[in-house]
Structure 1
Amino acid sequence: MMRIMVLFLCLLAGSLSAQCRQALVLGLDVSGSVDGSEYRLQLNGLAAAMRRPEVMQLILSNPEAPVRLAVFEWSEPRHQRVLIEWTTVQSPDDILKIAQTLEASPRSNAPLGTAVGSAMLFGANLLADQGNCWKRTLDLSGDGKHNLGPHPREVKSALQTAGITINGLVVGADDPNNGDKRYVQVGELSAYYKTWVILGPNAFIEVALGFDDYEAAMTRKLIRELEGLSLSQLSLPNQ
């Protein structure tokens, strides 16, 4: 009986240690509309957002069920480059290493096209490997509509039963001289992402009005995703 009890406790401990509360994939647009300076603003902005104390606190809030993170960049249908392989984030050092890797990542020779649907499929395939996480989320950043590959509406329809959430971070035009046109452009892109890209309960869109605003927008987005999951955990004992 004692041996059975010990075996049960070992199996239980192993099961608990294997859990994660959220698998989070971040997909970054590096198509032709993103120049070299915007590329750096995007990667450095994500790195800086992850270093924010309020974001770090949320990521590390439940050590027994940590967050797992992966990052990739995308452009045309056959161009998706993983920058951060799946990483279980359990300490401030883990977050700092991820941030440093992003800041040191050189830009690849990405083709010019924008394959939003292909990026959705690639992110969904990464999340398929994380079935023991309580929630699986793809964050897709983009500054334009698709012009190559499967249409996002077809991909969204195919992923309806995948059990994942897709959120969008829409990046508007950087040129402040465009005046009201900037708001029209980002409004159109937001509507496009809302209709054809985001997926799942409580899926949402965050907006960056230019890549200069990317860090702030990513910070808001990460807080909203991580805070929402933390609040749902806190409510469980009262149900």
Structure 2
Amino acid sequence: MLKHKYREGLEGNIMSRWGRAAPLALLLSTCGNAAAAPPLCADVALVLAIDGSGSVTDGEYRFQKSAIAAAFRDDAIISAMKDAGTVMLSAIFWGDGEFPTESLDWFVVHGGLGAEDFARALERNERHVYGDTNIGSGLWAALDKLSEPGICARRLVINLSGDGRETMVPKQRIRATLYQARLRTIQMGVTINALAIADEDEDLAAYYAQQVVHGTGGFTMTVKSQADYALAIRQKLKRELSPQFVASVVQHRSTPY
């Protein structure tokens, strides 16, 4: 499942993971097809952008993965996904902008089916990212995931979590600056929500709110330690998938921020 470049073509992945659901076979074949009216798209495409920079220990990295995987097995989150409709899930692991990010394939969850497959893929992921905290490069990789051929959803959302601010390094050393990533976010109409792990930086949540979060309904949550991460990620996912959040994002999707 792990890869350094985004996968070419998603239709086979959808069919192999959810072959019993014939309507979803049309999800990717009709999206982007001008002749198909109306297109059959997912309700939400959600990318989790997970901090794998050097400030995150191997133990903390494993804990984050297991906490997120457990969240997608939680009855409340599964219920929230059912209420949201058809949800497409992926994840990227970001760190130093000089090196490739890691990413998972797309998984489709409908009626609760598919969530377990995504959770297992997260757990199987092996760490290959370290180094500086290049949030811009991480967001850029998440935006690349949302731009893959065939991705079609009413809402495009990035769920970013991290324990530090953007590391200031020469531009030629990184894939994209945080400023460049935010400009692209505006152009694509993507909503970014952030979870600040503020164990060393008390003002990290304010920084994320000002420099990272974007879009109508976008929000920041904060925890003081990795130990609080598991509960916070559940609360964050439930909020992102809530009917109120869905309505606010869809209503203002075409409004420039």
Q: Tell me the TM-score range normalised by the shorter chain.
A: 0.7 to 0.9
1:156 to 178, 182, 187: 182
2:76 to 51, 54, 77: 54
Determine the C-alpha separation between the residues in 2 that align with 1:48 and 1:131: 26
Residue 113, structure 1, aligned to residue 132, structure 2: yes
Determine the C-alpha separation between the residues in 2 that align with 1:159 and 1:222: 20
- Judge conservation of contact 1:24–1:69 (CA < 8 Å) in 2: yes
- For the aligned residue pairs, the C-alpha RMSD in angstroms reads 2.4
* Equivalent position amino acid for 1:195 in 2: Q
2:67 to 38, 45, 54: 45
2:206 to 177, 181, 191: 191
Under a length normalisation based on structure 1, what TM-score does the superposition of the two structures give?
A: 0.78
SS at match of 1:160: helix
- Change in 2 beyond 3 A, CA 1:28/1:230: closer
- Change in 2 beyond 3 A, CA 1:216/1:146: same
Determine the C-alpha separation between the residues in 2 that align with 1:54 and 1:230: 16
Aligned position for 1:209 = 224
Unaligned runs of 5+ in 2: 1-25, 31-35, 252-257
The Cα offsets for residues 46-92 of structure 1, whole Å up to 9 and x where unpaired, read as 01111111100111235xx400010110101133101x211111254
**Higher deviation after alignment, 162-171 or 85-94:** 85-94
Determine the C-alpha separation between the residues in 1 that align with 2:121 and 2:110: 17
- Judge conservation of contact 2:194–2:212 (CA < 8 Å) in 1: yes
Q: Which structure has more helix as a fraction of its residues?
A: 1
Aligned position for 1:67 = 87
C-alpha displacement at 1:225, in angstroms? Answer: 0.7
- Judge conservation of contact 1:153–1:197 (CA < 8 Å) in 2: no
* Equivalent position amino acid for 1:127 in 2: L
Under a length normalisation based on structure 2, what TM-score does the superposition of the two structures give?
A: 0.73
- Change in 2 beyond 3 A, CA 1:89/1:79: same
Aligned position for 2:15 = none
- Judge conservation of contact 1:116–1:145 (CA < 8 Å) in 2: yes
Aligned position for 1:223 = 238
Unaligned runs of 5+ in 1: 1-10, 174-181
Larger Rg: 1
SS at match of 1:37: helix
Determine the C-alpha separation between the residues in 1 that align with 2:243 and 2:184: 26
* Structure 1 residue ranges (4+ consecutive) displaced by more than 4 angstroms after TM superposition: 14-17
SS at match of 1:139: strand
* Equivalent position amino acid for 1:35 in 2: T
Aligned position for 1:123 = 142
